[in-house]
Amino acid sequence: MKQIKNKTLLASVLTDGKGLQVFNPFDNSLIATIPVSCQSRVEQDVLDLDIGQKVWQKMPAAERCHLLKKWNQLILENEDDLARLITLEGGKPLKEALGEVRYGASFIEWFAEEGRRAYGSTIPSPSNDRTLLTVKQAIGVAAAITPWNFPLAMITRKAAPALAAGCSFICKPSESTPLTAFAVTELAYQAGIPKDVLRMVMGENAHDVGEVFTYHSSVRKFSFTGSTLVGRKLQMQCASTIKRTSMELGGNAPFIVFDDADIDSAIEGAMASKFRNAGQTCVCANRFYVQDAVYDEFVEKLVIAVDKLKVGNGLDEDTNIGPLISMEAKQRVLDLIEEAKGRGAKQVNREQKLGGQFVAPTVLVDVEHDRPLVQGEIFGPVLPIIRFHDEETMIDMANDTIYGLASYFYSQDMNRIWRVAHRLEYGMVGVNEGVISTEVAPFGGVKQSGNGREGAKEGLEEYLETKYVCIGGLER
């Protein structure tokens, strides 16, 4: 922990060997240990937050806005330390980690402002003796479970709208990356956000905390980012108390290059979309479809770009791809590659066998469409390419999945852009862009990629109820 300058960030959570161990995916060395809570402790946290929320929601929105802006400012002042923590426990290159800190902070600033605009409405009344209106009210205690691939931003884009709306917020981060989560929470406390309004917890195991968050009747909203497998289970648990949910689950993003595309721009977009966090994001391009006429040019240029990528320690300045999060993750990706190769796929870029938790960037052609590599989430730096002939078949292939999070396509034809953007069954479509996430636009999926949206004005709605008030017996 000597790389972290601001010692207050983790002072309250580091233990001398007891609790959850946190490892560096670069060399599997032990970074720190942090305390864990038993299930009844987490239940007590929820009860505390229930009391805290009643006070928090009465605070004028402008005052909540002020505290959130202070939090945003402290995160930016500590951005180097936070980026280092992200790289140390998550493995991503430092430059990307710094980008994540700024991206994560941007949600706090955005929702600090949006919280002041939680407008209700007046409704033209059907009779003269009644006035009809709606008001927006905080849902109550909001609970969240977040993953390791964006250990800071996945928390702030849930916590910020929750707090701005007047909810209290409790979160369990991933066991792989809890240090960033606790550090960012400490900064919230330093900004003046009360401890009975925001709390970070690590349980003895994820399942126990998940039970409290999903079954406890005082938790009124549950927000999850993670796999579709776990999200499906947690959504079912939430059904017992009819909780509002937001589910940001898996994706299987197609990246389509039509024959009228600007190929250099498509290569740039493909590299940015595919290799962010070593391919470990739910919006990473997962499968590439390239039309006949531009296929050879695209593959040739792509291989040149991919073979320039440097794999290494995220803390090194020139690293483009860090380690995967675990040995199991690496093995799963290698198995997917082997399976596809066994069915005729060919690697067209430089082959490298790497040790530790590293997987070399891999470009595969002649991949069959029904292979697990194409049908599921890869979560690694692997790029399967499939050749296609016509738009109609292409759209069917792109939509032939249980997922519907992000999709990308490249074309210069305006009619095609509208046509294809409308027909892709995805919550997000990037046209001639490989990276589209921003705090001002709604992020989320359709089908089994989940429900709800994060960021934008929609993100605040996730933490608000609409109450209809009818005032009757009026004289006019």
User: Is residue 323 a contact partner of residue 91, using CB atoms and an 8 Å limit?
Assistant: yes
Minimum distance, C-beta of residue 241 to ligand ADP, in the bound complex (Å): 16
Measured from the CB atom, the residue of 175 and 196 that comes closer to ligand ADP is: 175
CB of 284 to ligand ADP, least distance (A): 13
| Nearer of residues 61 and 145 to ligand ADP, judged by Cβ | 145
Q: In this complex, which beta carbon is closest to ligand ADP, that of residue 207 or of residue 308?
A: 207
Among 108-116, 139-147, 315-323, 428-436, which window interacts with ligand ADP (CB under 6 A)?
139-147
Nearest approach, Cβ of 324 to ligand ADP (angstroms)? 11
Please, which of residues 299-318 interact with ligand ADP by CB under 6 A? none
Site string for ligand ADP, 201-220 (x = CB under 6 A): -----xx--x----------
383 binds ligand ADP (CB under 6 A): no
CB of 209 to ligand ADP, least distance (A): 6
CB of 403 to ligand ADP, least distance (A): 14
Position among 230, 383, 394, 464 found at the interface with ligand ADP (CB under 6 A)? 230
Judged by beta carbon, residue 18 or residue 207, the one nearer ligand ADP is 207
37 touching ligand ADP, by CB under 6 A: no
CB of 149 to ligand ADP, least distance (A): 6
Distance CA 371, CA 328 (A): 20
Nearest CB to ligand ADP, comparing residues 95 and 233? 233
In the residue annotation, 248 being an active-site residue is answered as: yes
- Binding residue (CB under 6 A) for ligand ADP from 33, 125, 227, 241: 227
Nearest approach in angstroms of CB 420 to ligand ADP is 30
- Residue 23 vs residues 9, 30, 89, 175, 225: alpha-carbon distances, Å: 18, 5, 6, 10, 22
Among residues 96, 248, 439, 462, which one is catalytic?
248
Nearest residue to ligand ADP, scored by beta-carbon proximity: 210
Q: How many CB atoms lie within 10 A of CB 60?
A: 9
> Which residues ranging from 243 to 262 are in contact with ligand ADP (CB under 6 A)?
none
How many chain residues touch ligand ADP (CB under 6 A)?
13
- On whether the CB atoms of residues 403 and 228 are closer than 8 A, the answer is yes
Minimum gap (Å) between residue 446 Cβ and ligand ADP: 19
Nearer to ligand ADP, 14 or 181 (CB): 181
Residues forming a β-bridge with 132: 123, 470
Furthest CA-CA distance within the chain: 82
Site string for ligand ADP, 143-172 (x = CB under 6 A): --xxx-------------------------
Nearer to ligand ADP, 106 or 146 (CB): 146
Site for ligand ADP contains 226 (CB under 6 A): yes
Among 43, 175, 366, 400, binds ligand ADP (CB under 6 A): 175
Q: Site map for ligand ADP, 332-361, x if CB under 6 A? A: ------------------------------
Nearer to ligand ADP, 93 or 210 (CB): 210
List active site positions: 248
Tell me which residues touch ligand ADP (CB under 6 A): 145-147, 174-175, 206-207, 210, 226-227, 230, 233-234
